[in-house]
């Protein structure tokens, strides 16, 4: 009897979407080496995520290169497909999905995010930029502060730090000297937020 509360076709669809989206970000230079990870929610109760597998070139993933994890980021038993290890950051993906209700979480090591977190460790202020509309915010007079938390190799510590600074109107988190997490209802929504935020962070770090 399987412990995975989702159907094989759903898992296959999730794998194909995650592979395609990973290839997109790798082509942009945002998932260098084997860095970064993406997830989609397959079940809310119990929480089950499909997460990109660890240690693989994100520009070359196949639909089979995913792992199903529970609300703690631990791999579920009796999974379809080859045995893979989940990303070390799967626990933070799961915490973000559980707290925000997100259908997808994207984590990248894009350089502007790391530079911005270094420059504004208390949170990155963004205001009066047209691309704030891409975050669902106003382009005139609407202050958006992207939260920053210290890095940790312990996902429970990072999850607690995220939960302390999380605001429902800012779908992003910067982890100092690490990268950015963005989430949305699905991968397409997360992509919109991420691409808008990456441009904004490039602008403010270049402008000083």
Residue 3 maps to a domain: no
* First-residue to last-residue Cα distance in the chain: 57
- Whether 18 is in a domain gets the answer yes
Residue 7, pLDDT > 80, answer: no
Residue 188 Rama label (left phi>0; alpha psi -120 to 50; beta):
alpha
Q: Residue 65 — pLDDT band, cuts 50, 70, 90?
A: very high
Helices (DSSP H) in 38-154: which residue ranges? Answer: 90-100, 111-119
Range of the domain at 143: 8-207
b/e code 65-79 from CB counts within 10 Å (16+ = b): bbbbbbeebebbeeb
Q: With a cut of 60, say whether residue 2 has pLDDT above it.
A: no
* 2 within a domain of the structure (yes/no): no
The rounded distance, in Å, linking the Cα atoms of 45 and 36 is: 26
In this structure, is residue 144 part of a structural domain? yes
What's this model's pTM, rounded to 2 decimal places?
A: 0.93
What are the tens digits of pLDDT across the range 33-61?
889 999 999 999 999 999 999 999 999 99
Q: How far is residue 188 from each of residues 105, 140, 182, measured CA to CA in Å?
A: 11, 25, 11
Tokens at 9, concatenated? 């076709």
CB 82 within 8 A of CB 11: no
Q: Tens of pLDDT along 109-151?
A: 999 999 999 999 999 999 999 999 999 999 998 999 999 999 9
172 in Cβ contact with 84 (< 8 Å):
no
- pLDDT tens-digit readout, 79-118: 776 678 888 899 999 999 999 999 999 999 999 999 999 9
If DSSP codes are grouped into helix, strand and coil, which group holds residue 137? coil
pLDDT, residue 153, reads 94
State the pLDDT at residue 4. 58
| pLDDT above 60 for 3 | no
CATH code, domain carrying 145: 3.40.225.10
- The confidence score (pLDDT) of residue 10 equals 85
What is the domain count for the chain?
A: 1
């Amino acid at each position: 009897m399987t412990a995975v509360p989702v159907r094989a076709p759903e898992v296959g669809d999730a794998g194909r979407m995650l592979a395609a989206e990973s290839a997109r970000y790798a082509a942009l230079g945002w998932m260098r080496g084997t860095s970064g990870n993406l997830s989609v929610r397959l079940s809310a109760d119990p929480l089950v995520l499909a997460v990109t597998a660890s240690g693989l070139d994100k520009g070359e993933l196949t639909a089979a290169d995913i792992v199903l994890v529970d609300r703690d980021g631990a791999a579920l038993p009796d999974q379809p497909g080859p045995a893979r290890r989940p990303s070390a950051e799967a626990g933070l993906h799961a915490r973000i999905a559980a707290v925000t209700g997100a259908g997808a979480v994207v984590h990248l090591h894009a350089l502007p995010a790391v530079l911005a977190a270094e420059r504004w460790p208390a949170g990155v202020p963004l205001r009066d930029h047209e691309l704030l509309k891409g975050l669902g915010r106003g382009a005139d007079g609407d202050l958006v502060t992207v939260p920053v938390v210290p890095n940790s190799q312990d996902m429970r510590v990072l999850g607690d730090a995220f939960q302390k600074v999380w605001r429902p109107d800012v779908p992003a988190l910067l982890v100092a000297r690490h990268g950015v997490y963005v989430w949305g209802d699905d991968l397409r929504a997360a992509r919109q937020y991420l691409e808008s935020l990456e441009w904004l962070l490039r602008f403010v770090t270049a402008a000083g």
